[in-house]
Structure 1
Amino acid sequence: MALCLGQVFSKDKTFRPRKRFEPGTQRFELYKKAQASLKSGLDLRKVVQLPEGENINDWIAVHVVDFFNRINLIYGTVSEFCTERTCPIMSGGLRYEYRWQDGHEYRRPTKLPALKYMNLLMDWIETNINNEDIFPTRVGVPFPKNFQQVCKKILSRLFRVFVHVYIHHFDSVCSMGAEAHINTCYKHYYYFISEFSLIEHSELEPLVRNEVCCHSFLVK
């Protein structure tokens, strides 16, 4: 019998500790507004639109952190099935392989097991969103000029988690009864990146082409 979502997406399944918004801050209020819209049953295309009078970088920052939390949680539910034996490379089927490069420890694109890749990815994102020079939290401190470029890179790499989970672990997702939740999360993510042109369309090809997860079905 499939587990309920409350059991599947529990705190002990989280791959990384959740990043939280400080109560009383503008980001926290924006986050609450975004969550209220999501729970209201509104069309996701409308939910992602920038609220009138709000700063676009604040809106993007809130969503990048929220997607990090949600996708981190999704991968946490299948990470026990994602081992060096089952997933010796980080890939999205036979056609797509993702190699890790961070300019420090891995100066060149390096082939890694999916689990190792995910660990490095989540560490890298966490470092970025906790960096006050990139994601400032203090009132009056401006976003850096390259803020949206950093967010595009984060969102592009988070998309690879969807690719790997859908193509290599979708049977496990279905056995947990979690496919509806993950599909909704992907739709939310897709409409958001589309609304603000945050990812090149070519990046989406692994799911567009894949038969297990029909992209047109997910985002219709």
Structure 2
Amino acid sequence: MSFFSTIKGFTRSSKKKNQNKLGNNYNELYLNNDSSTSLNYNQNTQASIYSNNNGSSLSLRRTHSPSKQSVRSLKSTNQTRQQPSKQAPKPLFICEPFVKIALVKGSYKTIVQLPKYVDYHEWLALNTFELFNHLNKFYGVIAEYVTPDRYPIMTADSKTEYVWMMPNGKTVSLPANQYIDHALTWMNNKINDQTIFPTKSGMAFPPSFLKEIKGIYIQMFRIIAHIFHNHFDKLVHLSLEAHWNSYFAHFISFVIEFDLIDKHELEPLRMLIDNLETQGKIIPFSKDTL
């Protein structure tokens, strides 16, 4: 995905050589802005993410982004599978030492705050592009494990399923890999749409820009929640948990700073967000937020 020239002193894209694996340095990961570089080990999978037809029966040009109503509760199903006398174990990402591992120490507050003299919409656009780019790279690392037989539906925790909304308004359950491919393509198309993310001189951000941005962050959070609950062990095996935790602290701090996701959407990672807040790594929520 080629992207954007320098605007008001900020560059949304820089051309760099392709990398075959995530770097061992946080700066290496966060300074590579070429969104055409996916870290999928399977290059065919990489190509399918940004194509208009990923081999599924659903056309990506005709699918819609899930609405706020496209979250199904699996609570009743979960209750029948778990024994009431046993308490579910904590997810691995909540357990020590993993919950405290990070490459960047301290709070992200000063990093995500709107700099003086920088346009508000341009700051949102720049950070959205960067955070999307990094998420795509992380997903590329674990994409080969997200198979339809192992993940036949798109879930976060055991209580939440994300479903896809079709053009006729009906929602359908999709395998996790298909849902994520649809979501990545949908976000990529939004970011490359000049009517939403204008980059040419004289073009203004549309009145619907903030609504579009919030839709993108909802989709990014759903992919993040799926990875935390279903693939964190793989990131640990690859020694990437510090990179991933730092990325999420950056992501959620930006979300909190600009109020980009409704609180009910954050519920699958509520324990982690509370823990990061206690550690002082993220911007605190107001008491009435969660």
Shorter-chain-normalised TM-score: which range? 0.7 to 0.9
Query: Of 125, 133, 138, which aligns to 2:187?
Result: 125
Superposed displacement of residue 78, structure 1: 0.7
Larger strand fraction of residues: 2
**1:46-195 residue pairs with structure 2 within 5 A?**
46-101=110-165, 103-104=166-167, 107-195=169-257
Structure 1 or 2, whichever has the larger Rg, is 2
Higher helix fraction: Structure 1 or Structure 2?
Answer: 1
**Count of aligned pairs between the two proteins:** 192
Distance 1:205 1:27, change over 3 A: farther
| Distance in 2 (alpha carbons) for counterparts of 1:64 and 1:190 | 12
SS at match of 2:231: helix
Structure 2 residue ranges without an equivalent (≥5): 15-26, 32-103, 280-290
**For the structure 1 residues 100 and 27, does the alpha-carbon distance in structure 2 shift closer, same or farther, using more than 3 Å as the test?**
farther
| TM-superposition CA deviations, 1:53-108 (whole Å, max 9, x none) | 1111000000111111011111111111110011110001220000012x53x742
Q: What is the TM-score with the length of structure 2 in the denominator?
A: 0.61
* C-alpha displacement of 1:28: 3.2
Q: Which segments of 5 or more consecutive residues in structure 1 lack a partner in the other structure? A: 1-16
In the TM superposition, residue 174 of structure 1 has moved relative to its aligned partner by 0.5
User: Cα deviations across residues 12-58 of structure 1 (Å, max 9, x unaligned)?
Assistant: xxxxx5x5442x433634789xx8xx899773111000000111100
Q: Name the amino acid aligned to 1:216.
A: D
Amino acid at match of 1:179: E
Code of the aligned partner of 1:133? T
1:216 counterpart = 2:216: no
Cα RMSD of the aligned pairs, angstroms, is 2.3
Provide the identity percentage: 31
Runs of 4+ in 1 over 6 A off after TM superposition: 38-42
Tell me the distance in 2 between the aligned counterparts of 1:31 and 1:48: 18
TM-score (norm: length of structure 1): 0.80
